[in-house]
Amino acid sequence: MPQYLGLDASTQSMTGLIVDTDAREIVAEESINFDEHFAARYGIENGVLDQGDGVVHGFPLMWIESLELLLVRLRESGQDLSKIAAVSGSGQQHGTVYLNGSATAALEGLETDSSLFDQLAGIFSRDTAPIWMDSSTNRQCREIEEAVGGQAALLELTGNTAFERFSGPQIRRFFQDEPEAYAVTATISLVSSFMASVLAGKLVCVDAGDGSGTNLMDIRTRNWSAVAQQATATGLADLMAPIAPSAEPAGSIHSYFVKKYGFTNDCLVLPFSGDNPCSLIGLGLVNPGQAALSLGTSDTLFSCMVKPRFSSEGEGCVFSSPDDIHYMALICFMNGSLAREAVRDQYKLDWQGFTEILHTTQAGNKGRMMLPYFGPEIVPNVPAGVVRKGLAEDDVAGNVRAVIEAQAISSYIHSRWMGVDITSLNVTGGGSANEEILKVFANVHGCPVHRFETTNAAALGAALKAIKGHQTNLSWSSIADSFCQPSGSTIHPDQPLRALYDDVIAAYVEFECDHCRQVSFSH
């Protein structure tokens, strides 16, 4: 019975999801929460180390430790890992891992008499990895854009303007601020290719899905762009593994995992991708025009496109799909669950109390509005600072509804550039468990919202990538048909409320524009 493992190395946790292609079902789903296991040792909160001034990093060694814990947990829960024919994965997109010259030998020489932690602790030229929440590279973004001939030129070349959270600007900042550490860096991996390298016991290529979140890949050829690499840092072309087809196996799993956890020697390791491209296929968006919403640490809205279509405002992103044929349009809001949790905590609510308030308050919030920038926001690109209109800070109910309406409206107005007529939204992420939140999104977008069985779409997409890499004759549509059906719970829009939201949306646009004119970095 072939089974496939999808791993998701995300911001706050390491998840493993196993699918069985004969049974056509998800047979296991386990997660290791970073704070729960590592908060004290690594000094992290919500999975990350916030160093101030927009500098937010993760710990590659902690990800390695949690991989090991996860495999133990999967075994303890009764999973027989010898059934796994192939493994692939998803990594929080954009993060960069810096390895020194000892990495190749250390990965290859892993032995089971000590832990991954002990054997891999010395392979880094930088202990921490800047991740997507890092907003400290504004200067580097502008420098890279200028060096390739301007913002429009970078957009045309890579599908994206320079974003602070993207890998290229992170690399440039390291190159500028820590030249000595940069000089001893032999390889720069993405979170995805780093985790794949640990499993394969050798440096694994980047896939085009994650490569397109770097500001370094030519979006049309799906190869690194020499021009973008030169604009970013000296000698960068030699530090980055090539881009490989997403379904081309990188090799077999290293014997460490065979001996220690019971995988077989011929279990394949496929290149990992970014969490967004993995979520695209995990939610079954393998055909153009389909759209989905992920309510996670950040909220993202994305769709599948035939050709790369760019956001001229530079607020959206374009990635390659893991099918290596289509493209993914995405907008990412930094203030996803971070904002929902900030409101919940500020008013000392639990999720039940929060949900009851949403249920009992009126759509449109009687004109009370919030711009929920609890942290710096990506879309629109503004610094941190919550702004309220007609809404007192001590108005608990008003603030709860305001944060959710703001998120839904923002996802609506900032997705127009995709040119996709959104007729339904497939929804995932922790926030998708909450029906009252989904009702607001259904009413604002005026379309049904389909809930999926797994809230781990990225891990599911990774498992589907593993299937495709092993059973190469299967089409993406047939794989998606088997595993990506809504769980049956669909939230339909309430048409009169949708009409009401027209005015609310117009008022929100005005409120947001006024604020952006006053404070934004780039407007």
Identify the residue among 275, 315, 405, 512 touching ligand XUL (CB under 6 A). 275
Any contact of residue 464 with ligand XUL (CB under 6 A)?
no
Residue 253 is encoded by which pair of tokens? 């799993």
- Of 186-225, which residues contact ligand XUL (CB under 6 A)? 213
Angle at the Cα of 259 from the Cα atoms of 254 and 260, rounded to 5 degrees: 100
Our CB check for ligand XUL shows the closer of 63 and 132 to be 132
Our CB check for ligand XUL shows the closer of 249 and 316 to be 316
Any contact of residue 276 with ligand XUL (CB under 6 A)?
yes
Identify the residue among 3, 15, 93, 365 touching ligand XUL (CB under 6 A). 93
Any contact of residue 455 with ligand XUL (CB under 6 A)?
no
Any contact of residue 129 with ligand XUL (CB under 6 A)?
no
Q: Tell me the number of residues near ligand XUL by CB under 6 A.
A: 14
In the complex, least distance from residue 389 CB atom to ligand XUL, rounded to whole angstroms: 28
Could you give the residue ranges of the DSSP H alpha helices within 165-294? 167-177, 179-183, 191-200, 208-211, 226-232, 255-261, 275-282
Nearest to 172 by CA among 191, 195, 188: 188
What is the secondary structure of 317-359 as a DSSP string?
EEEE-TTSSSEEEEEEES-SHHHHHHHHHHTT--HHHHHHHHH
Our CB check for ligand XUL shows the closer of 381 and 399 to be 381
How far apart (Å, rounded) are the C-alpha atoms in residues 59 and 49? 8
Our CB check for ligand XUL shows the closer of 11 and 399 to be 11
In the complex, least distance from residue 33 CB atom to ligand XUL, rounded to whole angstroms: 15
Our CB check for ligand XUL shows the closer of 6 and 249 to be 6
In the complex, least distance from residue 113 CB atom to ligand XUL, rounded to whole angstroms: 34
Any contact of residue 439 with ligand XUL (CB under 6 A)?
no
At a CB cut-off of 8 Å and minimum separation 6, what does 425 contact? Answer: 291, 292, 293, 301, 441, 442, 445, 447, 448, 449, 450
Any contact of residue 298 with ligand XUL (CB under 6 A)?
yes
- Of 5-24, which residues contact ligand XUL (CB under 6 A)? 10-11
How far apart (Å, rounded) are the C-alpha atoms in residues 452 and 224? 35
In the complex, least distance from residue 112 CB atom to ligand XUL, rounded to whole angstroms: 31
Any contact of residue 317 with ligand XUL (CB under 6 A)?
yes
Residue 118 is encoded by which pair of tokens? 């002990």
In the complex, least distance from residue 48 CB atom to ligand XUL, rounded to whole angstroms: 11
The single-letter DSSP state of residue 377 is B
Scanning 89-97, 176-184, 476-484, 506-514 for contacts with ligand XUL by CB under 6 A, the matching segment is: 89-97
Angle at the Cα of 29 from the Cα atoms of 198 and 10, rounded to 5 degrees: 50
Any contact of residue 92 with ligand XUL (CB under 6 A)?
yes
Query: Beta partners for 452?
Result: 486
In the complex, least distance from residue 193 CB atom to ligand XUL, rounded to whole angstroms: 15
Per-residue binder mask for ligand XUL (CB under 6 A), 232-271, x = binder? ----------------------------------------
In the complex, least distance from residue 151 CB atom to ligand XUL, rounded to whole angstroms: 18
Cβ atoms of residues 94 and 166 within 8 Å: yes
Our CB check for ligand XUL shows the closer of 201 and 316 to be 316
How far apart (Å, rounded) are the C-alpha atoms in residues 8 and 336? 19
Cβ atoms of residues 485 and 454 within 8 Å: no
In the complex, least distance from residue 262 CB atom to ligand XUL, rounded to whole angstroms: 30
Rounded to the nearest 10 degrees, how much is the dihedral formed by the CA atoms of 418, 424, 428, 429? 60
In the complex, least distance from residue 298 CB atom to ligand XUL, rounded to whole angstroms: 5
What is the secondary structure of 402-431 as a DSSP string?
HHHHHHHHHHHHTTGGG------EEEESGG
Our CB check for ligand XUL shows the closer of 165 and 326 to be 165
Residue 264 is encoded by which pair of tokens? 């077989």
| HSE (side-chain half, CA atoms, 13 Å) at 425 | 30
Any contact of residue 300 with ligand XUL (CB under 6 A)?
yes
Binding site for ligand XUL (CB under 6 A): 10-11, 92-94, 132, 165, 213, 275-276, 298, 300, 317, 332
